[in-house]
Chains A and B, each alone.
Chain A
């Protein structure tokens, strides 16, 4: 039904939305969508982990550790993500040894997708460190002191008191950063990762439907972001503590 409609649209008006009726194009587009989703999900989780680890070290007693985290954050925040990605993929990836792929060929140790995930996680992780730090600073001092007087260790204090409160405070900022991460995944196009933009560009260079694919692409990304924002808002609502909201 849908396929027939878009085929007719192409025949009558010359609007070629090939992904809706051509099985091959559709599968390419869906593969791209899947790759983008995969990169997004893994990078989001990894960047959250990096953020937590970074903020833990940044709040620790080790002077050296603190300096390292600050340098990491400032460096990744103030350099272009595309150059970071190129640096990881071409420079670092080029120096790593290759492994046999079992069919007589050689494949790189970390694939393009892998480097994309690493680069985006580090990039978003740098922002997450700052976001978590701001959240933790907003936790009332008295809470921490009360917990300390009850004999909590630093780890218990963080796990049971500081993080649950800080997390609620920094959710809006986190939200922004994760949306930004989803948008950043398009950069993987530059290193040939078959994500959404790459798939779309393959389709439009074969079918000559740049205009249509461009619009499909924009709408798809806006929808992806909308889904993420919706999920985060639901979560924000579910975690709300009545009476406690800065």
Chain B
């Protein structure tokens, strides 16, 4: 008798064919379709602009190429602002979020009120709030801390981010089954130990997708700083349009900026969805 073989009717291991459309085909198809259609719309608007512009002056493509680097620089400034306000907002938000689940009411209530207030106020109003009400410099005895407009903008954008991060942290901590707390207590962990060694490591994983989602929203919100007069991508685009005064260029120029944001935010959104699916806990 050979080893490893048997006459009994056993189910041999087999490689199952994917049932529905395979996991990768649909997203790939969608992404390809998205990119293709965006390119088509963009090219069409550019062609229309090229055709309708007067022949005596520069063509639409030439002008667009001339301004594209500058618009891209503006867009990079948007990204810089988004990194910094995300960092500041996350740092403050985690404190608020942990405060919201604190057993002491003196900590919990103010954290809750601040979170709800800043979460429900419009981003633009909070930005105005920071821009107008923060001093342009802060004197602490001999030290003077300058607050140029862009730092104020970062603080203004960090306020709603902090409130949203606070809710994400609270939700993440709350999503851990209470059995974890109870078993930790049974093993004589203190509250602080339970939080740091048991709850937060588990909750952290679940907080990543909403946190990334928030980051994408923040990146899109950074264009708001153009309203308060900071030179970001949108401001540069507008300035370019004013400088050229060619109405037929408006469509491709704004589309270019939209596509820059899309190219940055769409991968984040896809990754968020993938992570959400992976961390999805059944039951």
Contacts and interface: CB of A to CB of B under 8 A. Distances in A.
Q: Of residues A75, A83, A186, which shows the largest number of chain B Cβ atoms within 10 Å of its Cβ? A: A83
A79 interface: yes
A136 to B, nearest CB: 17
A70 B30 CA distance: 8
Given A183-B121, A222-B121, A78 B216 contact: yes
Interface string B110-146: 0000000100111111101100110000000000000
Interface residues of B, number: 42
Interface in A159-179: 179
Contact of B221 (A80, A95, A201): A80
Interface in B18-57: 30, 33-34, 37-38
Contact of B265 (A78, A182, A184, A186): A78
Given A70-B30, A71-B34, A78 B234 contact: no
Contacts of A184: 122
Interface string B150-163: 00000000000000
Contact of A91 (B33, B122, B250): B250
* B contact face: mostly helix, strand, loop, or mixed: helix
A90 interface: yes
A26 interface: no
A67 interface: yes
B177 interface: no
Interface string A129-163: 00000000000000000000000000000000000
A38 interface: no
Contacts of A211: 132-133
B189 interface: no
A148 B269 CA distance: 35
Given A74-B266, A189-B227, A86 B254 contact: yes
Given A186-B125, A221-B122, A78 B269 contact: yes
A78 B35 CA distance: 13
A197 interface: yes
Nearest to A210: B132
A23 interface: no
A181 to B, nearest CB: 11
Nearest to A82: B223
A57 interface: no
B234 A221 contact: no
A218 B125 contact: yes
Contact of B254 (A67, A74, A83, A222): A83
Contact of B250 (A78, A94, A182, A222): A94
A221 B121 contact: yes
B119 to A, nearest CB: 9
B223 A80 contact: yes
A239 interface: no
Q: Of residues A80, A90, A211, which shows the largest number of chain B Cβ atoms within 10 Å of its Cβ? A: A80
Given A75-B38, A80-B220, A197 B125 contact: yes
Interface in A40-88: 67, 70-71, 74-75, 77-84, 86-87
A92 interface: yes
A22 to B, nearest CB: 21
A225 interface: yes
Given A189-B227, A214-B132, A221-B122, A74 B247 contact: no
B230 interface: no
Nearest to B26: A70
A3 interface: no
A62 to B, nearest CB: 14
Q: Which 3 A-B pairs have the closest CB atoms?
A: A80-B220, A91-B250, A183-B122
7 contacts: A78-B261, A80-B261, A82-B224, A186-B123, A217-B125, A218-B126, A222-B120
Interface of B: 30, 33-34, 37-38, 117, 120-126, 128-129, 132-133, 216, 219-224, 226-227, 234, 238, 241, 247, 250-251, 253-255, 257-258, 261-262, 265-266, 269
Interface of A: 67, 70-71, 74-75, 77-84, 86-87, 90-92, 94-95, 179, 182-187, 189-190, 197, 201, 210-211, 214, 217-218, 221-222, 225-226
